[in-house]
Amino acid sequence: MYYTAWFEKREGGIVMVQFILKDWSGLVINLFFCYTIIRMLFDKQKPPISTSVLTGILLIGLGAGGSFKAAAPAIISIINGILWLILGYQRFKQE
């Protein structure tokens, strides 16, 4: 699934910009995970530290490493990773 919008360079000097959002399913799944993690941040019971830190590092690595071919899912994946690390920090402070 591709959504493409082009603004081509014309005589007026408009710079060529390409906006491509290739992976709708990856974006929707990452947004759902972001929603569930935000709910866990405000809950009293937290997952184990090792799970939170490992998941956070892997999500940041996947997003920054370019495993997704679209920018939006990669950015949301990095945000999810940061939220998982915050969740691990909250668990560490609970103990």
Query: What is 8-65 written as a DSSP string?
Result: ---TT-PPPEEEEE--HHHHHHHHHHHHHHHHHHTSS----HHHHHHHHHHHHHHHHH
Give pLDDT tens digits for 49-86.
Answer: 999 999 999 999 888 876 556 777 888 889 999 999 99
- 35 vs 5, higher pLDDT: 35
d(CA 11, CA 7): 12
Phi, then psi, of 68 in degrees rounded to 5: -95, 145
Annotated domain spans of the chain: 24-94
The pair of three-digit structure tokens given for residue 87, joined into one six-digit string:
């969740």
pTM of the model: 0.71
